[in-house]
Structure 1
């Protein structure tokens, strides 16, 4: 039986084949999206900035596959297997709930790290670690695309490669954590299937609003993984980074409070039988 300490529980959950499946899915899709860029860079003998991921995430379809990976990772939510019952009896519901929240947030960081590393490996022969946008990016910025990748010229003009990559890394981590916390909290009130349905609807709702030309799509959490939804300059139709980070922290805190409140009042046996 695995230990009841926080680190032991988190390690047990992470050691799962799901992370390898997600890595394979993301690696395949990144290779498809970045093949043209990598080929052009190698043909011309050029190396350019490593910060390609923020531009890849401007694509609607890539973002959906990226978020799908997060949903696969959190498939064991709400963590109510027989082994978990042993832990609850040993450490209590409140501490168990806190461990769940910590695990979900750390998982967000893990998934964001994995995605970042895979994006670097995919274009490894064409990588430059200089903190500047090179010839390739500047050329592609005029056309707006580099093969399948949508180049965001506004993001390039406002941020250096390291700054843009850091913000994307943090926002990806917060997005995955928000997804996990939302699935976890919803699954305490409704069945796991319905919690997934609700999250999928929210993900695609942003796309529907975008197609309809509604400004609201820029202010939905799942849209912020794309820098095209960030504010550059004085465009009030989009949120700035302070708004995005503040909103994510408030949402995560709110979901943590709601989930802990529900756990304290939940009949474990009844929930296990009907989930």
Structure 2
């Protein structure tokens, strides 16, 4: 229990420092502008049609290739200062020990990623709230946009997938999408943490960006089976095959892949903290 309290203390200390970090505010503003660009046409469409829209926008934002890519680049921007060695960290490292300090930083990446996607989901609902109604179904607006080309006349750039609506209930799609996004974002954060311990901080961001862009490369250059090796791709619902009968990864495979990858990267992160001398770095 004492070790767990140390992990929580280290991670919460990092999150508290967000309030004094201009990069966090810049990221928040950019995300709001980004979301409004895709959500406002849907809101206008619902007002013109005279029907309220259900709040289940997040699964579609996280599934569209472009919006998903931008969301993942937000994770890179959020954790680009890994291994988070500010002026307070040497004292925490000495007091807690390298293993506990590393575990606290890993917990910070996990919690920070969860907060990041919760923010995206919450803001997307908040933006749709002027004409929103709560319902456990997809609703007429999202249903119409999924089954027709009505969105083209209203400049709706966000594809509303009929495949998602036919395979999942809104609650299932929202929950599964959030978990998958969290897993993929955690992996990106851990990759940057490990790589930045051994080299310049820019190297971690570059490698994480390559992992993100691999999703697009598969779509245009590789066969569907390559999705089995792309954590960012497996965070998109339409990439996964619930039946497991196609070349695409199944939901079970995605869960196992994420669990193994997060565990392995966490172990490497702890070992890396033991092997390398970590220096205080200026904030980004």
SS in 2 for 1:50: coil
Cα distance in 2 between the residues matched to 1:260 and 1:65? 29
Q: How does 1:63-212 map to 2 (within 5 A)?
A: 63-143=68-148, 146=151, 147-212=156-221
Shift of 1:234: 5.0
Query: 1:90-122: CA deviations, max 9, x gaps?
Result: 111111111111111111111111111011011
Bigger mean CA deviation after superposition, 38-47 or 55-64: 55-64
**SS at 1:128 equivalent:** coil
Aligned to 1:239: 249
Alignment equivalent of 1:23, drawn from 10, 23, 28 = 28
What does residue 239 of structure 2 align with?
A: 229
Aligned-partner Cα distance in 2 for 1:5–1:34: 41
2-structure distance, mates of 1:145, 1:102: 44
Deviation readout 1:28-75 (Å, 9 max, x if unpaired): 111111121100111222123211111122322212221121111112
Kindly tell me the number of residue pairs found equivalent between the two proteins: 269
* TM-score normalised by structure 2 residue count: 0.87
3-state SS in 1 of match to 2:138: coil
Distance 1:92 1:134, change over 3 A: same
Where does the alignment leave 5 or more consecutive residues of structure 2 unmatched? Answer: none
SS at match of 1:224: helix
Q: 1:235 Cα shift?
A: 4.2
* Kept after mapping to 2: 8 A contact 1:144/1:150: no
CA contact (8 A) 1:108 1:175 kept: no
Q: Which moved more, 1:110-119 or 1:61-70?
A: 61-70
> What secondary structure does 1:169 align onto?
helix
Change (3 A) 1:141 1:205: same
User: Residue 275 of structure 2: which of 250, 265, 273 is its match?
Assistant: 265
CA contact (8 A) 1:206 1:217 kept: no
Counterpart for residue 32 of structure 1: 37
Runs (4 or more) in structure 1 with deviation over 4 Å come to none
* Partner SS, residue 49 of structure 1: coil
Counterpart contact for 1:59–1:150, Cα < 8 Å: yes
What is the alpha-carbon distance in structure 2 between the residues aligned to residue 21 and residue 171 of structure 1?
Answer: 25
